[in-house]
């Protein structure tokens, strides 16, 4: 079931991760770059992306990391998850980053590098451009 956790409308490019993200341990707060060598997005920047990933994991303090990367202007412009988790939901709520949860089928149809429009007022939520 699709869900809107934080409302908004943005267009941009998908940065897709097959791995979940532990924001506290693995995302650099100043650069928005993933620092975990074992991670699918190792050495990639989250900045200005529409970040598509299964879910957040790990310490709840990761919500502050989301707030920090937004304050440092290196945050994604929106996030799309397969599963909702509290760390990402509250981090996005505070940082005012649009966040939606989508079905498995739609999740798998989103590919890295795709240009999409995400609009929480539209019943389709995601439109391909």
Partner 1 sequence: MELTREEESALKGEHGETMQMAYRILVATGEATDAEKLIPIEWTHLSGVNYNTIGDAGEEFLSNVSKDARVKVKTTLNPMGFDIDNVSDYDLDENFVSKQLSIKNSYETMGVIPSFSCIPYEIFDIPKNETQVAFAESNAAIHANSYDNLKTNKESAFSALASALTGKSPNSSLRKEDTPNITINMKIKNPNELSYGMLGFFAGKVGNTSVNISGLSNMDNRQQKAMCGGMGTSGTCAKFIFGDGDSDCEKIDFDEKELQNVHDELNTAENGDIITLGSPQLGLEEVTELTQKLKGRSFKKRCMVFTPRTVKVQMQKLGYTNELERAGCEILSDCCTCLTPLINKDNVDVVTTNSIKGAFYLKNSNGVGVNLKSLSQIIKDETK
Q: Looking only at residues 99 through 118 of this chain, which bind partner 1 when binding is defined by CB under 8 A?
A: 99, 101
- Is residue 59 among the annotated active site residues? yes
Judged by beta carbon, residue 50 or residue 75, the one nearer partner 1 is 75
Please report whether residue 83 would count as binding partner 1 according to CB under 8 A: yes
Q: Which of 49, 59, 60, 123 is catalytic?
A: 59
91 near partner 1, rule: CB under 8 A: yes
**End-to-end CA gap in the chain:** 23
Taking the complex as a whole, the smallest distance from the CB of residue 67 to partner 1 amounts, in Å, to 5
CB of 30 to partner 1, least distance (A): 9
Nearest in space to 56 (alpha carbons), one of 10, 9, 90: 90
**CA separation for the pair 74, 68 (Å, rounded):** 9
Q: What is the DSSP string of 12-75?
A: EEEEE-SS-B-HHHHB-TTT-BB--TTSTTTT-B-TT-EEEES-B-S-TTHHHHHHHHHHTT-S
Binding pattern for the stretch 36-55 against partner 1, x by CB under 8 A and - elsewhere: x-x----------------x
**Total residues at the site for partner 1 (CB under 8 A)?**
41
Please list the active-site residues.
59
């Amino acid at each position: 079931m699709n869900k809107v956790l934080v409302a908004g409308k943005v267009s941009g490019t998908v940065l897709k991760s097959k791995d979940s993200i532990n924001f506290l341990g693995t995302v650099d707060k100043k650069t928005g770059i993933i620092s975990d060598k074992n991670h699918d997005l190792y050495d990639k920047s989250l900045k200005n992306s529409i970040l598509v990933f299964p879910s957040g994991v790990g310490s709840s303090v990761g919500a502050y990391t989301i707030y920090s990367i937004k304050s440092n202007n290196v945050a994604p412009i929106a996030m799309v998850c397969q599963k909702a988790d509290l760390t990402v939901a509250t981090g996005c709520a505070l940082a005012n980053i649009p966040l939606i949860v989508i079905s498995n089928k739609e999740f798998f149809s989103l590919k890295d590098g795709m240009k999409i429009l995400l609009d929480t007022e539209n019943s389709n939520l995601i439109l391909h451009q």
